[in-house]
A and B are shown apart, each in its own frame.
Chain A
Amino acid sequence: MFGLEALDLARIQFAFTISFHIVFPAITIGLASYLAVLEGLWLRTGNTLYRDLYHFWAKIFAVNFGMGVVSGLVMAYQFGTNWSAFSDFAGAVTGPLLAYEVLTAFFLEAGFLGVMLFGWNRVGPGLHFFSTLMVAIGTLISTFWILASNSWMHTPQGHEIIDGRVVPMDWLAVIFNPSFPYRLAHMAVAAFLATAFFVGASAAWHLLRGRDNPALRKMLSMAMWMALLVAPVQAFIGDLHGLNTLEYQPAKIAAMEGHWENRPAEPTPLILFGWPDMEREETRFKLEIPALGSLILTHSLDKQVPALKEFAPEDRPNATVVFWTFRLMVALGLLMILTGVIASWLRWRGRLYQSRPFLHLVLWMGPSGIIAILAGLYTTEIGRQPWVAYGLLRTADAVSSHSATQLGVTLALFVLVYFAVFGVGIGYVLRLVRKGPQLGEGAETGSGGPGQQRTPARPISAADEHLEHEGGDHLGERN
């Protein structure tokens, strides 16, 4: 089908469903912590602004959480349907880790999500804050499990291969595998940043339209503090993660750098831009800075960085793709840092909320965190190729034996349904954002709970906005 083989289609299908899925949990993780901070500040300062913001973002959190659950349902089955050889080979390790991720999520839903979303008027402020904190911590525990599983696939250890299958011998070693701490930190912080820029852009959208209230200003201000303080931290973590990858997956680094061969006794240059060509085994049209590659990756001027030609052609990841996804991620990261710096300067000059060029920048940076997450995901996962479990099982040997036609049809179905369903969902989130935080909305909050019409079992029920314009809609008239 379209010249693609079954393996390619299976990979595209996984990439497509995971790309949709990852966005929702990332924003869930970020918003959960943001809500915990907002509620903490409300309890500490008594400033109702924080309470209003809490209620506004809690609705968006709920809708987003709901879509994460729905898109996650597909992921829970896809390892078996599409990657059966992998599931059989590595299921003893990845199965339990995935199960813990699922159990954590349901534990949250059963325990604290209900109190958090619907218990504002029913429990004391202390217990409510505790619930919000538990939800925030719970999303991070979920992240912990799923990244343990993913990291193990990159840097497997703590297992033995018995009868051609993985058997876990030491769970601590399995979970705390070499790339896990870096990957976990990098992903969690990425989720925070993606959320911060989403929140910041929401504020900027309203400010640009002349809607100005203290809640919007607070949103922008908090988001820009995150950009200033956390984006550089992310660059630092990313650097550590890169060094870890250099040690355990040198071929991935070589591909990310588009670096084909080392000349004797010469430090490795850094290729800024170029077109890595897998056929010709060179990076064409390249613009490079001498010795900078060695400096960044080995922190020295005499050590060399591994090059792609040191690996057999069948062991090389596709450098054309990861070279560019990596650069996209880094570029967005640098733009985030820059945005944070500009914001601080404007804040100091007292023009943070008025500068239209800056507000436009923040608006355009809204999806930057999400795009960076996807670019980073592609870099690390395509960079792992041709392995699915690094050094243990090749992707080509992991796939179920479905025909290209079958995979093509299901892929088309997924594309159709996902765009229809999550398109409406994302549209709804944006509609909630467009309404914006209302001053005093925290004072009148609906109740709900297990067994009621508004219930944590269906988080989306927490939001009560309509899906599209109806007659007399105030937004419709204003725009």
Chain B
Amino acid sequence: MGIDLSLIWAVIIIFGIMMYVVMDGFDLGIGILFPFVRDAGSRDLMMNTVAPVWDGNETWLVLGGAGLFAAFPLAYSVVLSALYLPIILMLIGLVFRGVAFEFRFKASKTRRHIWDKAFIGGSLLATFTQGVALGAFIHGFPVQGREFAGGPFDWLTPFSLFCGLGLIVAYALLGCTWLIMKTEGELQKRMHDIGIPLVWVVLAVIGIVSIWTPLTHPAIAERWFSLPNLFWFMPVPILVLLCAFALMRSIQRYAHYSPFILTLVLVFLGYSGLGISLWPNIIPPSVSIWDAAAPPQSQGFTLVGALFIIPLILVYTAWSYYVFRGKVRPGEAYH
């Protein structure tokens, strides 16, 4: 067959996860920034900047899970069972946060703080576990036969814990620059203030992960530092530095839109670095997308529906964001 279905599906899933990280990233970031903003009015405003879009963002997580199951059942079964606790905790965090989000608006003023805490806790838990999962994914999973052959706490390494903290900072930056874009006045100023330190921390995290990864993963080190790969990959760190520099400048000159867009670029660069390190393995370090593929009948059958419906979801998502463009002001209340 001329068409490489596994490749198409890998692209769809990579795209889906990218959409998820970009879109759910900033609204998880809102939850992470909640403790730094104390007054109720500003908190309402923060919620309102994501209220119309956040649930649609999680669409991509469900699609990613179902797509992985359909197209790469081996990866779905090995990766998810290897990451058992982080995944379950992430789901619990998301459930908590999702419902807290709704019911916060419906709760009375006296009870609202309970839902605020649920929202903060859920956001932190979901983000941290996603980062841990990411770190463990980079680290790879031992596979024997067609099963995960490691222990229940293999995912728990200093590296993965650091990735968990790193993702919290990264999502916080996404949330911060999102708020700079969507708000004005006091709240926006507050975000301008914490923006610059956040960029520095994110930059440090990227730097540490970039050093730590090749040091502990020889296969990745070899891929990075062998010629001619080095020349191909060199633009990534350079672009990261340029982007971070531009980002700080844009925050300093009180730009509204460019900080968020530059943060997205930064996230995208980090994501591409991940791709460079792992492609084409879907269960690092050794199982490729072709090894883990479902039979072509399954991939082809599901692709028909996916190609029909995913564009529709994209159009709808774009429309949602278009309608919701511009600043959110206090008083444009939810009720």
* A interface residues with partner B (beta carbon < 8 Å): 66-67, 69-74, 76-77, 79-88, 90-96, 98-103, 106-107, 109-111, 162, 167-169, 171, 400-403, 406, 410, 413-414, 417-418, 421-422, 424-425, 428, 449-453, 455, 457-458, 460-461, 463-470
Contact = CB atoms under 8 A, between A and B. Distances in A.
B92 A99 contact: no
Contact of A453 (B51, B63, B76, B147): B51
A84 B106 contact: no
A461 B320 CA distance: 15
Nearest to B76: A80
A263 to B, nearest CB: 47
A378 B235 CA distance: 57
Nearest to A468: B108
A467 B99 contact: no
Interface stretch (B53-61, B172-180, B198-206, B240-248): B53-61
Given A76-B66, A77-B87, A91 B324 contact: no
Contact of A96 (B65, B298, B317): B298
B48 A453 contact: yes
Given A95-B69, A410-B85, A466 B301 contact: no
**Would you call the interface of chain B mostly helix, strand, loop, or mixed?**
helix
A99 B67 contact: yes
A103 B311 CA distance: 11
A32 B63 CA distance: 23
Interface of B: 48, 51-56, 58-59, 61-63, 65-71, 73-74, 76-81, 83-85, 87-89, 91-92, 94-96, 98-99, 101-103, 105-108, 111, 146-148, 152, 294-295, 297-298, 301-302, 305-306, 309, 312-313, 315-317, 319-324, 332-335
A413 B90 CA distance: 12
Contacts of A76: 62, 65-66, 69
Contacts, number: 246
B98 A85 contact: no
Contacts of A406: 84-85, 152
Contacts of B73: 87-88, 90-92, 95
Closest 5 CB pairs of A and B: A91-B73, A451-B323, A80-B80, A84-B77, A451-B324
**Would you call the interface of chain A mostly helix, strand, loop, or mixed?**
helix
Contacts of B84: 81-82, 400, 402, 406, 410
A77 B80 contact: yes
B297 A171 contact: yes
A466 B109 CA distance: 11
Nearest to B74: A88
A67 B102 CA distance: 11
B95 A421 contact: yes
Given A95-B302, A96-B70, A106 B59 contact: yes
Contact of B319 (A103, A109, A451, A463): A451
